[in-house]
Amino acid sequence: MPRFTAEELRSKHLATRITAREFPAQLYEDGGVLFCKVCQHSIDYIWRQTAVEHLRSRRHKNRRASGPARTQTLASCLTKTPSSTAERKEFILDFTRKLIKPDIPLEEGPKFSTFLKKHCKQGGSIPVPSHLCTEYLPKIYPQYEQDIKDAVEGKDIYVILDETTDSFERCALAILLQPVGDRPVVADLAFLDKVSFTTVSQAVISCLNNNGVDFNNVWAFVNDSASYMKKAFTSILKVLFPNSGHVTCFAHLLSLALEIFPEVFEDVYRLCALAKKAQALFIVEHSEEIVANLTKLEETSVPTAQNIASKLEDLQMQFEYGRVAGADDWRPHTTELLGQLPEKGRLSCTELFQSAMAACSIKLQTVLEKHPCLHLFKSLTVLDPAQVVDARKDIKDYVHAIPALSQVSTEEWNRYIGIDKADAME
């Protein structure tokens, strides 16, 4: 145990200094707070065993294995030094708040970890995004609600509504409140069991009540021209908000106007849909054989080296054939679908398919020419069991052509060409 001066013995931080000097490679003391050099955050020091348990923890050991420990100076760290678990949590809460304010997803939080560990003593204490969502985000929500109330309180506002469905096919109604002359704020996202003028009206009234909006200060409801939106305003909301009017979203009006094109140009849209379907079907049908060949070559239960060259040659021939194939020369389903297209569309798709096959052929040929084992694969073709059904039983008959066979036992050769041992002895 190192010796301490009388001044140190009188210090109220003696306990943390003693522990830090006991483990100088991993711990250090600053301002009466015990810090871990590896994890880069404070340890909620109660007694020596607290520090020992931290050093033995799996998280500490993993971080120690991933990189060297380092001590941060006060000049390069935050001006405030958290000295307890509560203050460390406050640091994480502030970090979460800073992510949310500029609309940075919490999933991006880990990308800041390297910077925080380098420049901030509490940088190593930032938890994973899921923990931020479950533990810290709910604590910020009350302040978010208060910010909305402060933004709309006593002001004339517009209510903007938009209904959509989420990834779970649930109906979601977004309610935005926009003070006149200011930016809108998202006041609520209501999930509705069903979409009707009644449920929409209830969601709007509840949102305005929760945010303390004076009904007389509502000037307009902005939404699409859906029948239930119109009925919600004319049947219920217009009575409750006497100074308001209904405004159809201009972007939605443009969308309605553009919907005329698919109706007028029905043949064009049908042609585009058929061409897209033909292209997708071509990929599916003509990839089937390629995938089958790859699957065969990846089998580990049977020898495949002697088949590689022939499989590659078959694939090359398939691509070469496709370079000059006509509209009636493709696989059955692709050919059938091409027959439903007008002549110009059929020729266009055929030229596209031919160019794809030509590009594949050139690419495969380029790769094969540079492959160092191609000559070996071609030589191994002679060892294909399917080609040696009439092979002589004596392996010595082939040694002059393939010298390496002299190292192969007779028993192994017999197994290879499928000859029973009893037959080989005859």
Do 13 and 53 lie in a common domain?
yes
Hey, what are 113's tokens? 């970890």
pLDDT tens digit sequence for 100-147: 777 777 777 667 766 766 666 655 567 777 777 888 888 888 888 888
Whether residues 254 and 268 fall in one domain: no
Q: Strand, helix or coil at 294? A: helix
Are 176 and 135 within one domain? Answer: no
* Residue 77 resides in a domain: no
pLDDT, residue 12, reads: 43
360 and 272 both lie in a single domain: yes
**Amino acid letter, 76:** S
So what's the pLDDT on residue 420?
45
Question: Per the domain annotation, does 244 fall within a domain?
Answer: yes
Q: Tell the burial category of 208 from Cβ atoms under 10 Å away from its Cβ (0-12, 13-18, 19+).
A: buried
Closest CA to 195 of 223, 214, 176, 221: 223
Q: Which residue would you say has higher pLDDT here, 13 or 365?
A: 365
pLDDT at 157: 92
Q: Which residue do the tokens 């217009």 mark?
A: 238
Question: Which residues pair with residue 179 across a beta bridge?
Answer: 157
* Whole-angstrom distance, CA of residue 80 vs CA of residue 121: 10
Which residues are bridge partners to 42 per DSSP? 35
Q: Within this chain, do residues 271 and 363 fall inside the same structural domain, yes or no?
A: yes
Of the residues 224, 242, 258, the one at which a domain ends: 258
Which pLDDT score is estimated for 252?
74
Q: Kindly give, in sequence order, each residue whose CB lies less than 8 Å from that of residue 385, ignoring residues fewer than 6 positions away.
A: 303, 306, 416, 417, 418
Q: Classify residue 364: in a domain, yes or no.
A: yes
Mean pLDDT confidence for 193-204: 89
Residue 418: CB partners within 8 Å, gap ≥ 6?
385, 389
Same domain, 186 and 279: no
> How many residues comprise the chain?
426
Please determine, for residue 271, whether its predicted confidence score (pLDDT) is greater than 70.
yes
Instruction: Give kind and range of the element (H or E) at residue 160.
Output: strand 157-165
Q: Are residues 270 and 366 in the same domain?
A: yes
pLDDT tens digit string along 40-86? 667 766 567 777 777 778 777 777 776 655 444 444 444 444 445 67
Q: How far apart are the C-alpha atoms of 130 and 362, rounded to whole Å? A: 48
Banded model confidence at residue 177, pLDDT cuts 50, 70, 90: very high
Phi, psi (5° rounding) for residue 300?
-110, -5
Name the residue with higher pLDDT: 218 or 169.
Answer: 218
Is 151 part of any domain?
Answer: no
Number of neighbouring beta carbons within 10 Å of residue 49: 9
Q: Are 319 and 364 in contact (CB under 8 A)?
A: yes
Residue 379 counted as domain residue: no
327 and 276 housed in the same domain: yes
Q: Do the strands 157-165 and 218-223 form a parallel or antiparallel pair, or are they unpaired? A: parallel
Confidence tier at 266 by pLDDT (50, 70, 90): confident
Tell whether 66 is covered by a domain.
Answer: yes
21 and 66 housed in the same domain? yes
Q: Give the domain extent around 399.
A: 388-424
C-alpha atoms less than 13 angstroms from C-alpha of 149 in its C-beta half-sphere: 10
Residue 393: phi, psi to the nearest 5?
A: -75, -25
Instruction: Write down the pLDDT at residue 159.
Output: 92
Question: Does residue 269 sit in the same domain as residue 366?
Answer: yes
Q: How many domains does the chain have?
A: 5
Residue 44 shares a structural domain with residue 21: yes
**Does residue 402 lie within any of the structural domains?**
yes
pLDDT (0 to 100) of residue 78: 44
137/127 Cα distance (integer angstroms): 12
Query: Between the CA of residue 295 and those of 286, 304, 316, 386, what are the distances in Å?
Result: 15, 11, 17, 19
* pLDDT score for 72: 47
**289/362 same-domain check:** yes
Domain boundary among 109, 124, 146: 146
Residue at a domain's end among 104, 126, 146: 146
Instruction: Supply the DSSP symbol for 226.
Output: -
Q: What is the rounded distance in angstroms from the CA atom of residue 83 to the CA atom of residue 30?
A: 10
Please tell me the distance from the alpha carbon of residue 347 to that of residue 137, in angstroms, as a whole number.
58
Average the pLDDT over 31-35 and give the result: 71
Answer whether residue 79 is part of any domain: no
